[in-house]
Amino acid sequence: MKFKIFDEITEEYAGTILNFVNNLMGQIEFGMFDKDGNEILDPEDFYENTVIQSPEDTINHKKGNSVDQANLEYWLLKENGLKPDIYYVEYTTKDNITPSHMFVIFKHNDFYNWYEHAWTEEKGLHKYKNLSECLFDIKRKFCPIQYSNTCKVYMIKELKEGTNPNKVLERKIVRINDNPTLVMLTEKELNTDNELLPTIPNNYLTELGFEDTIQERLVFYPSIQKALYRDSFLNMKNKVLTVYEPIYNSLVYSPSKYESPTSEITDELWIMKPVKVRKIGQIRVKNPVKETEPTYVYGSNNTGTMKTWDYEILNGNLVKDSINKNYNKYCVIDNNKKIYFEDTSRNKCIRYIKDNNSRKLKCILKPTYSMMTDKDIAYMFQDKGLKIVYSNDLINDCIKVSVIDNKNNSEIDSELCYDTSEARYVINCFRQQYKIRKVEKKNDTKN
């Protein structure tokens, strides 16, 4: 199998490599295989009998899990002159379940590039100024807020093809020091010789009891642009702000929207221990960007609006962030896990719910929804308890896949599939449509 494009490495060639990788990876679907090359359909056998495929086998099967796909991406990039590394991210739920993902990062033209294919929502190339920023973004997107303290990233030393992925992860990983890049903006000059002490922020949300007033913290942000979000009544124009970053080696905490209502917009992070900071530059705030005014909820039905401020760099080692105009993506989901109004405003979502007079509908930020586990969603809706079952239908000589209501053992949806590949596709569709975690295999059916 040829993994290399025969050409000179040039600026244009880097694009050619990416096109080459995209074309090959675009043919790969999700799937797992055992040591004999047989596809594994039963989820209970996924991690017990699965082995890591060779790049050639992944291409020939046109299927692979995130480990197989990361392995293929690694060799495609490496054989064409780049220097990729394989990483692994995981978190642990309260039920001691450990969702995980494997991915590839390579450095090119002073940027760290995360190339993704298996994770559908993040498919493509993502560029970052440094490795910490890259790893932090992946952790933020993959690990739900409530499990951020258990979220870990590792570099994979070796992927031995033909072995079980779990055995590779047990012995071949090294924990990455992945403290994120954080900033704090202030009009005051801070004393960088002394540690800053955690405090309770003084703002109207803490004064009214809508933001946490117990945990003392130092609030930082993942970017200058995020730190510049301000409530609509605050005028920031022409203010000169000094930018500081923390000097720390401690855990950061990602607050929930109940602890900090604006956190879903700002992505703020808390450091709960005294830390020193260093000055990295200054900015001058310019005009607000009128078309980007996200809203947040505090209390039961109160809403607030934040302004997005443009800015210019005055001095220091700073790179200007692009203004994110896609932050305000909401969707309505109902208790059957149907999704409406993706990529729309929160007000439109709320109007839809009120017009339908339904308690079974919820308005939620799309990025938050994408990070929620199936169990989180089921808990939010007090899930009735659905499961997917599949079996060989001997009458029709096919595979039947059904959605079953556990309470009364009734079938609420089903499909007949010609082969295991089609059955796998239908199972994935049902899992996404109904947000079901449990998949079972039943005995062959004759009627």
| 321 in any annotated domain | no
What's residue 174's pLDDT? 60
285-298, pLDDT tens digit by residue?
Answer: 998 886 667 788 88
* Coil, strand or helix at 408: coil
Please state, rounded to an integer, the average pLDDT across all residues of the chain. Answer: 80
Residue 327: predicted pLDDT: 45
Please compute the mean of the pLDDT values over residues 303-326 and round it to a whole number.
78
Of the candidates 150, 175, 200, which is a domain's last residue?
Answer: 175
Residue 2 lies in a domain: no
Residues 169 and 193 in one domain: no
Same domain, 23 and 83: yes
* Claim to verify: residue 66 and residue 170 sit in the same structural domain: yes
Amino acid at 203: N
Dump pLDDT digits (tens) for 396-439.
778 888 989 888 888 888 888 777 767 876 787 677 667 676 78
3 located within any domain:
no
Q: Which two tokens stand for residue 351?
A: 């109007």
404 contact partners, CB below 8 Å, separation of at least 6: 386, 387, 388, 389, 410, 411, 412
Place 22 in a pLDDT band, splitting at 50, 70 and 90.
confident
My answer on whether 299 and 207 are in the same domain is yes
Residue 411 and residue 346 share a domain: no
H/E run at residue 11:
helix 11-25
Question: Does residue 140 share a domain with residue 58?
Answer: yes
162 in a domain, yes or no?
Answer: yes
Write phi, then psi, for 364 (nearest 5 degrees): -145, 145
- Whether the per-residue pLDDT at 125 is higher than 70: the answer is yes
Statement: residue 284 has pLDDT above 90: yes
Domain assignment present for 4: no
Instruction: Give the number of domains in the chain.
Output: 4
How confident is residue 7, by pLDDT bands cut at 50, 70 and 90? very low
Q: Are residues 26 and 153 in the same domain?
A: yes
Region of poorest pLDDT, from 21-35, 45-59, 255-269, 360-374: 360-374
The verdict on 157 and 196 lying in the same domain is: no
* Gap between the Cα atoms of 194 and 336, Å rounded: 54
Of the residues 114, 141, 175, the one at which a domain ends = 175
Alpha-helix residue ranges (DSSP H) falling in 295-419: 346-356, 366-371, 374-380
| 9 — pLDDT class (breaks 50, 70, 90) | very low
Q: The whole model's pTM is what?
A: 0.46
**Is 246 found in the same domain as 226?**
yes
pLDDT confidence tier of residue 184, bands split at 50, 70 and 90 = very high
CB atoms within 10 A of CB 379: 11
The answer on 245 and 156 residing in a single domain is no
SS3 432: helix
Mean pLDDT for 87-103 is 87
Domain limits for position 38 = 11-175
Residue 190 sits in the same domain as residue 305 = yes
User: What is the DSSP-derived secondary structure letter of residue 418?
Assistant: S
The yes-or-no verdict on residue 325 having pLDDT over 50 is no
